[in-house]
Amino acid sequence: MAGLELLSDEGYRVDGRRAGELRKVRARMGVFAKADGSAYIEQGNTKALAVVYGPHEMRGSRSKALHDRALVNCQYSMATFSTGERKRRPHGDRKSSELTLHLKQTFEAAILTQLYPRSQIDIYVQILQADGGNYCACVNAATLATIDAGIPMRDYVCASSAGFIEDTPLADLNYVEEAAGGPQVALALLPKSDQIALLEMNSRLHEDHLEQVIEAASKACKDVYAVLDQVVRDHVHEVTTLLGE
Amino acid sequence: MLTSRTFLKRTRAGAVMKVVREHYLREDIACGAAACEQCGQQPGEPRLEAQPSGAASSLCPAPHYLLPDTNVLLSVITNVIVLQTVLQEVRKRSAPVYKRIRDVIANPEKHFYSFTNEHHRETYIEQEQGETSNDRNDKAIRVATKWYDEHLKKINSEETIQVILLTNDRNNKEKAVQEGLIAYTCEEYIKSLIANPDLVDRLACVSDEGKEIESGRIIFSEHLPLSKLQQGIKSGIYFQGTFRANRDNYLEATVWVHGDAEENKEIIIQGLKNLNRAVHEDLVAVELLAKDQWVAPSSVVLQDEGQNEDDDENEEEKENTLKSSVSKNMLRPSGRVVGIIKRNWRPFCGMLSKSQIKEARRHLFTPADRRIPRIRIETRQASTLEGQRIIVAIDGWPRNSRYPNDSAGDKETETEVLLLEHDVPHQPFSQAVLSFLPKMPWSITEEDMKFREDLRYLCVCSVDPPELENGNLEVGVHIADVSHFIRPGNALDQESAKRGTTVYLCEKRIDMVPELLSSNLCSLRSNVDRYFCMWYCHIVFLFKASLTYAEAQMRIDSANMKDNITTSLRGLNKLAKILKKRRVDNGALTLSSPEVRFHMDSETHDPIDLQTKELKETNSMVEEFMLLANISVAKKIHKEFSEYALLRKHPAPPPSNYDILVKAAKSKNLEIKTDSAKALADTLDKAESPEFPYLNTLLRILATRCMMQAVYFCSGMDNDFHHYGLASPIYTHFTSPIRRYADIIVHRLLAVAINADSTYPELTDKHKLADLCKNLNYRHKMAQYAQRASVAFHTQLFFKNTGVVNEEAYILFVRKNAIVVLIPKYGLEGTVFFEEKDKPKPNLSYNDEVPSLTVENTTFYPFDKVKVNVMLDASNIQHQKIRMALVEPKVRHRLYNAKQHIIQVS
C-alpha cells in the first residue's frame, strides 16, 4: 500500500488546502452563561471549548497565592469521545499534563497578572473532537474565553502549528499530517508585538529550515488573529445591540 | 467549501475505526488550458497548448485535449489532462508507472496537465451508498470531462477545443456517450491518428493487456491441503521432496525427491507459476508435468532485479529466455509445486530496498541469500532501516502476491549475517556447557592411567619419528584424546554435536568446543603441557605389514637414524613421499581449488593484501600420515563394529558430471578420460600445454567442480564405502577431534575397540548415528559456505580499499548470457555479463557442443585468457558485490537505432 501523498506535485495537501492555508475557523464567544467567560472554536474538525473563571480569591490552599500577581490555573482535557477510539481518561495522563503546563505558560505571558495580586484565574479547556492542532485550538479558544471574561491581556494569544514536508512549510497541520511523523512546530504568538509566548518543536528539523517554518507558523498565527478579532468584534456588536434594545 | 470524507478502516490490530477527514473544495484550481481566461494560471506550471496541434486524428479533426482513464494512461500523446483521481489510482496500483507519469507531467514539452479534480468544487462527487470505489472513480472521471467540455466552450476563440475521454472500459464509455461526452477507446483513437501509423504496433500489446487489472489478481494456484497431498504421494501422483532454489536463476529450482524413484530423483521446476510460492529448503509436493512440457536446466543467469512487485510485464519475457533452444536430450523431468508439506522458514538476513514512492509503507526486502525470494515488509521506518542489515521472518505468502510478507527486523553486523545466513550456531557456550569442563589446574589421576600405556619414556617429537622394531616401522600418530574430556550425553557433548564442526572465517573462528579444550588441554603446548597432552593420546596403530615396499629403502637409511630428530624427520618425509606415490598410483586425485589468504591490518582488521595459499612440503607430509591414520582407524572400527562405525565416503560422480570438463578440454585439444579415478588422474597429469602452464590448474579446478560431496555415514546403513578422491576402500575422520565432532565419535568407537572405555547405548544405535551423520554433513556444508562467504566479503573489503583494477583472468565456464572467469592472482571467481541494463542487448549465440559463446564478433571458449576490470559495485542494494567487466578482448556493440516513438510514456 502506498502511503498518503501529503503534498501533491500540484501543491495541494491531502485535504485540498495549499501549503500556507488554514483550516476553516469558526468560533463563538459566551457559550455558557454561568462561567465568567467561555468560548467555542472549530478549526476544521478540531473542536475545543474553553471556560474561564476569575479572577477570584484563592481556592484550595491559600499558600499557593502569589503576593504580586494572579495565579493562572489551567486544565487541559480531552473528551472521551474526541478521538476515533474512545479515550479512557479525559485528563491526568502525561500528555494532558504537559499541555496543561504549556497553556499555563502561554497565558501567564499574555494576561496582565500583576493587576490581580493574591488572586486566581482558572482556565479550563476541553477538546471535543481531535483532528490535529489540539494545543493551538485550545489556546485560541482560551484567548476568546479570557476576552469574554474581561480579563485584561497584553494582546490576543494566537496559536498555530506548522510542519515541514518536502521542503515546504505547511501551516495548521491536521491529524493525518501530524501522524506522518515529520517535524512539527507549535507557536503561540502575540501578533501585534510579534512576541512569542510559546514555541515548541517535535521531531528533527534542520537548522536551516527552522526560520521558514517559524515564519509560516507566525503567518498562520496572524491569519488566526484576523479571524479571532472578527469574532470578538461580531460578538461585541451582537451584545451591544442586545443591550441597546 | 468544506465537505468531509468519512470511511471505516481496519487497523492492523483488527479493530474497525471510523476515520473522518476534511475535504476542502476549491474554486481556484486552473483548468490548465492556455487560452482560458476564466482561471488564473499559476505561473511556471506546464500548461495545455492554446491550439493543441498534437497528432492529427481522423476521428476528430477538431483541436482537442485528451483525458484518459486509468487503464489507458500508459499510452498517450500530448496535450493530456491527467485527473487526480486517475493519478491516485495509478499510484495505488503501480509505483513504477506512477513515477513515469510524474516524470512526464514534469516535462513541459509534453503538455501534460494534472488537474486536481477531487478538490475542485464542481468536479468533486461523493461516493454513493453501495457504489464501489471503482464506479465512483469512473463517474468522477466523467464528471470532470463534462466540466472541461463546458468550461472550454466558454473560451472565446473561433474554434472550441474538445475534450476526449479515452477509456477502454466499455461501460464507462457507454455512460460517457449517454451523457453527451466524446469518448473513444484507446484503440479507436490511436488508429485514427494520421501521422503515426507505427503506433498501432505498439497498441497491439497494449490491448492485450487491456484486460481489467483487478487489485486481487491471483498469481499462483492454490496449495492443496495436506490430506490431499498425502493421498497423492501415496498413490504416486505427487512426489515429495526438498525444494532447492537455483542460486543463479530465481525462476528455476530443483526438487530432490525422497524415496527410491530412481529415474526421477531430481525434478526441475521452472517459472514463477510452477514454483508456486515455495521457498528454498521447504518440503514440497510436486506434480510431474506431461513430457512435452519438460524443460532443460537453463544456463542463464537471472537475477530478480525488479524494483517493484508490479514489474511483472518482463516476467514472461524472462521465462521465455529460459525455454529458448534446447536440444531434446537435455530435457529433464519437470514439474510444478502443488503444495507445501512443511515450510522451512527461518529468519533471513538482508537489506531493505525502498519503494519508489517516498511515503510508501510497503517495501521490499532483499535477502543476502540469492535463493530466497524478496520479501515484502511493512514499516514506517524505511529511512532508518535503509542501508542497514536487518533480519526478517516470513509471515505468510498470499496467492495474489509475488513476494512473501514479513514481520519486523533489526540490525546485525556483517559477520553475524553470514553466520546466521548459513545457520552456524555461534552463540557463546552456556554455563551448563562450561560446567562440564575439567577444573584447572588439571593433572592426571591414577585412575586415568589404568587404560593407558605410559609412553613418557619415549622420545616423542610432535611430528612423530619412526622407531625400528622387528625390521618394521612403527609410526605413531598421536591425537589428543578429546573424548576423555567430552563425555557422552552431557551438555558439552550435546552442544558440540550440534555445532558439528569448527568454522573458520577470515578473521574469526567459531569453536566447536570451548576454548579451554581447543587451545589448552588438547593442543600441543610448551614442554610440560605437551608432555601431559601427549600422554593422553590414544596412540597408535601399527602398519607393519603395509610397509613392505618401503622397508628395504628404510633399512638402508636406518644406519644413521638414531635419536637425531632432524634425520628422523627427513626419514619420515621420505616415507610420506612413498606413501603418497602409492596412493596416487592407486588413483587418488590431486585436485585444486584456489584458496585465498588475507593479510589483515593489525589495527583495523581490514584486509590489506590478498594472496593464494601455498602448500608446503611439511603439510603434505603430515597430511600423508594423517590419511594413513584415518584409513587404519577406519579399518579397525569397521572390523570391530561392522554395523555402527562412523565412516566417510566420497561417492564416484556420475559420468555426466564430467561433461563440462571433457568438452572444455576438447576445445584445447586435450583428452580427459573419466572412466575411472585412475584414468582421470593420469590424463589430468598429462594434460599440459607448454605455452599455457596454468591450464593444468584450471583443469583441476574444473575437475573439482565435477566431484560429489564427501559425506559421513553409518556403516550399517550403507554398503558403498569407497572414497573416490583418496582412492581408498574405507575412510573416516580421526585426526581432528577438537574441530570435528565426527572424530570424537570415532575416538569413542576406537576406545571401546581397544577396551579403554565403555560403550553407551547411543553409540551402538545405527539410526541415531545416521541422524548424527546427517547433522554433521549439513554443518560441514554450511561451514564451507560460510567460509566462502567470509572470503567473498573480505575480498570485497579488499577491493573497496584498492579501488578498480585490471587483472588477467581465465574463463572457467561459458554460460548462455555470461562467462565465469577466474583471476589466478586472487583466486577470485566472478561472472561477466554481456547484457547491461538500459543498453541494447548484444547479439549472443551459445554453442552447447563446444561450450562457447559468441558475442557480436568475439567468441569465448573455456580457458581463454581475458583481461577483466574488477571493481566494487556499491550501487546495488544488497550492497557491495564485486563486479567484473571485460576489458580485453573488446566486444564491439552494434549501434542500435531506437525507433523514435512519440509514445514515450511506456
Q: For the segment B695-751, what is each residue's pLDDT rounded down to a tens digit?
A: 777 777 777 777 777 888 888 777 778 888 777 888 888 877 778 888 888 888 887
Nearest to B359 among A3, A15, A44 (CB): A3
Q: Which among A6, A10, A16 has the least Cβ separation from residue B23?
A: A16
Q: List the one residue out of B198, B163, B190 whose CA is nearest residue B74.
A: B190
Distance separating alpha carbons of residues B483 and B513, to the nearest angstrom: 11
The partner residue sitting opposite B102, judged by closest CB among A9, A16, A181, is: A9
Q: So what's the pLDDT on residue B415?
A: 63
- Whether B770 and B820 map to the same domain: the answer is no
The pLDDT of residue B551: 39
Q: How many independent structural domains does chain B possess?
A: 6
pLDDT at B809: 82
Q: Which range, A42-51, A204-213, B242-251, B447-456, is most confident?
A: A42-51
pLDDT score of B648 more than 80: yes
Quick one: pLDDT band at residue A133, thresholds 50, 70, 90? Answer: very high
Q: Residue written as cell 519486523?
A: B408
- Shortest CB distance from A15 goes to which of B22, B378, B380? B22
Q: Please tell me whether residues B338 and B353 are part of one structural domain.
A: no
Peptide linkage before A55 cis (omega within 30 of 0): yes
Q: Say if residues B377 and B363 touch (Cβ distance below 8 Å).
A: yes
Average pLDDT value for residue range B282-287: 83
pLDDT in tens, B581-615: 777 777 777 666 655 566 655 555 555 565 555 55
Residue A229's pLDDT band (cuts 50, 70, 90): very high
**Does the pLDDT at position B42 exceed 60?**
no
Question: Could you read off the pLDDT of B686-698 as tens digits, one per residue?
Answer: 777 777 777 777 7
Asked if residue B906 is part of any domain, the answer here is: no
B200 Cβ neighbours under 8 A, 6+ residues apart: B190, B191
Check A15 against B118: CB less than 8 A apart. Answer: no
Instruction: Convert the pLDDT of each residue in B516-562 to its tens digit.
Output: 776 666 554 433 333 333 333 333 333 333 333 333 344 434 444 44
pLDDT at A137: 96
Question: What pLDDT, on the 0 to 100 scale, is given for residue A114?
Answer: 94
Phi/psi at B434 (5° precision): -65, -25
- Residue B37 is part of which domain span? 2-83+106-207
Mean pLDDT of chain B: 69
Q: How far apart are CA B330 and CA B747, in angstroms?
A: 47
C-alpha distance from B105 to closest chain A C-alpha (Å): 9
Residue of B nearest to A15 (CA): B23
* pLDDT tier, B769 (very low <50, low <70, confident <90, very high otherwise): confident
- Comparing A180-184, B381-385, B567-571, B899-903, the range with the smallest average pLDDT is B899-903
Average pLDDT estimate for A75-95: 88
The yes-or-no verdict on residue B902 having pLDDT over 50 is: no
Check whether B485 has a pLDDT greater than 90: no
- Best-predicted range by mean pLDDT among A163-177, B357-371, B704-718, B852-866? A163-177
pLDDT, position B817 = 74
| pLDDT of A182 | 85
Regarding whether B556 and B533 lie in a shared domain, the answer is yes
pLDDT at position A111 is 95
Q: Do B95 and A4 touch (CB under 8 A)?
A: no
Mean pLDDT comparison of A55-59, B123-127, B483-487, B859-863, highest-scoring range? A55-59
CA-based nearest distance B88→chain A, Å: 9
CATH number at residue B404: 2.40.50.700
The total number of residues written for chain B in this structure: 906
Percent share of chain B, pLDDT over 90: 0
The pLDDT value given to residue A140: 96
CA distance, residue B273 to nearest chain A CA (Å): 23
Answer yes or no: is B708 within a domain. yes
CB contact under 8 A, A2 and B105: no
What is the Cα A229 distance to its own chain's centre? 14
Which domain-ending residue is among B412, B444, B468? B412
Q: Are B679 and B652 in contact (CB under 8 A)?
A: no
Rounded to an integer, the average pLDDT of A209-233 is: 94
- B244 shares a domain with B139: no
Q: Which domains does chain A have, with CATH numbers?
A: 25-244 (3.30.230.70)
Q: Which residues of B touch A (CB under 8 A)?
A: 2, 4, 15, 17-26, 42, 45, 84, 88, 91-92, 95, 102, 105-106, 114, 116, 118-119, 355, 357, 359-362, 378, 380
Band (pLDDT 50/70/90 cuts) for residue B313 is: very low
**Is the predicted pLDDT of residue A236 greater than 90, yes or no?**
yes
Q: What share of chain B is helix, strand, coil (3-state, %, to 5)?
A: 35, 20, 45
Are B21 and A176 within 8 A, CB to CB? yes
Q: Which of A48-52, A91-95, B226-230, B855-859 has the highest mean pLDDT?
A: A48-52
Q: Which element (helix H / strand E) includes A234? A: helix A207-244
Position A230 pLDDT exceeds 90: yes
pLDDT for the residue A37: 94
Q: B681 vs B506, which has greater pLDDT?
A: B681
In this predicted structure, which of A164-173, B228-237, B682-691, B736-745 has the lowest mean pLDDT? B682-691
Inform me whether the pLDDT recorded for B470 exceeds 70: no
Q: Which of A19-33, B58-72, B76-90, B95-109 has the lowest mean pLDDT?
A: B58-72
A107 has a pLDDT exceeding 90: yes
| pLDDT computed for residue B211 by the predictor | 39
Whether B34 is in a domain gets the answer yes
Residue B160 lies in a domain: yes
Same domain flag for B443 and B468: yes
Are B338 and B376 in a shared domain?
no
Whether residues B77 and B200 share a domain: the answer is yes
Residue in B19, B25, B102 nearest the CB of A16: B25
> Given an 8 Å threshold on Cβ–Cβ distance, is B116 in contact with A131?
no
- Beta bridge partners of residue B16, listed in sequence order: B10
* Tens digit of each residue's pLDDT (9 = 90 or more) over B127-176: 788 888 888 888 888 888 888 888 877 776 666 777 778 777 778 888 88
Question: Which residue pairs from B127-135 have beta carbons closer than 8 angstroms and sit at least 24 positions apart in sequence?
Answer: none
Predicted confidence (pLDDT) at residue B895 exceeds the cutoff of 50: no
Of the partner residues B84, B106, B360, the one whose CB lies closest to the CB of residue A3: B360
B614 and B715 inside one domain:
yes
B591 located within any domain: no
Closest CA to B54 of B196, B157, B197, B172: B196
Query: Bridge partners of B735?
Result: none
| Rounded Cα distance, B500 and B744, in Å | 10
Would you place residue B877 in the very low, low, confident or very high pLDDT band (cuts 50, 70, 90)? very low
Q: In whole angstroms, what is the distance from residue B269 CA to residue B220 CA?
A: 14
> Under an 8 A CB cutoff, do A10 and B20 touch?
no
Rounded CA-CA distance A72/A37 in Å is: 15
Q: Does residue B627 sit in the same domain as residue B741?
A: yes
Q: What is the DSSP letter of A62?
A: G
Extract the runs of DSSP E, i.e. beta strands, from B306-434: 335-342, 348-353, 362-367, 375-378, 390-396, 405-407
Distance, in angstroms, between A75 CA and closest chain B CA? 27
How sure is the predictor about A96, in pLDDT bands with cuts at 50, 70 and 90? very high
Residue A15 vs residues A3, A25, A222, B4: alpha-carbon distances, Å:
15, 15, 22, 9
Contact A44 B355 (CB under 8 A): no
B637 and B730 assigned to the same domain:
yes
Q: Which chain A residue shows the shortest CA-CA distance from B42?
A: A10
Which of the two residues, A146 and A203, has the higher pLDDT score? Answer: A146
**B617-640 and B741-753 helices cross at what angle (nearest 10)?**
50
pLDDT mean over B619-634: 76
Give chain A's contact residues with B (Cβ, < 8 Å): 1-6, 8-12, 14-17, 23-24, 44-45, 84-85, 131, 174, 176, 180-181
Residue B692 lies inside a defined structural domain of this protein: yes
What are all long-range contacts of A22-26, with beta carbons under 8 Å and residues at least 24 apart? A22/A160, A22/A171, A22/A172, A22/A220, A22/A223, A22/A224, A22/A227, A23/A133, A23/A172, A23/A174, A23/B22, A24/B2, A24/B24, A25/A140, A25/A224, A25/A227, A25/A228
The distance of A243 to chain B (nearest Cα, Å) reads 35
Tell which wins on pLDDT, B421 or A27. Answer: A27
Domain containing residue B814: CATH number: 2.40.50.140
Q: How far is B5 from chain A (nearest CA, A)?
A: 9
Provide the CATH number for the domain around residue B48: 3.40.50.1010
The pTM score is 0.52
CA distance B350 to B139: 45
**Residue B602 in domain:** no
Q: Which of the four pLDDT bands, split at 50, 70 and 90, describes residue B469?
A: very low
CA-nearest residue to A21 within chain B is: B24
SS3 content of chain A, % helix, strand, coil (to 5): 35, 30, 35
**pLDDT of B328 over the 70 cut:** no
From B531, B550, B574, the end of a domain falls on B574
Q: Which residues lie below 8 Å from residue A9, measured CB to CB, with a gap of 6+?
A: B102, B105, B106, B114
Contact at CB, A131 and B22, closer than 8 angstroms: yes
Predicted pLDDT of residue B580: 76
Q: Distance (Å, rounded) from C-alpha A29 to C-alpha B146?
A: 44
Asked if the structure places residue B366 within a domain, the reply is yes
Q: Are residues B561 and B471 in the same domain?
A: yes
Same domain, B630 and B774: yes
CA distance A157 to chain B (A): 26
Domain C-terminal end among B207, B235, B270? B207
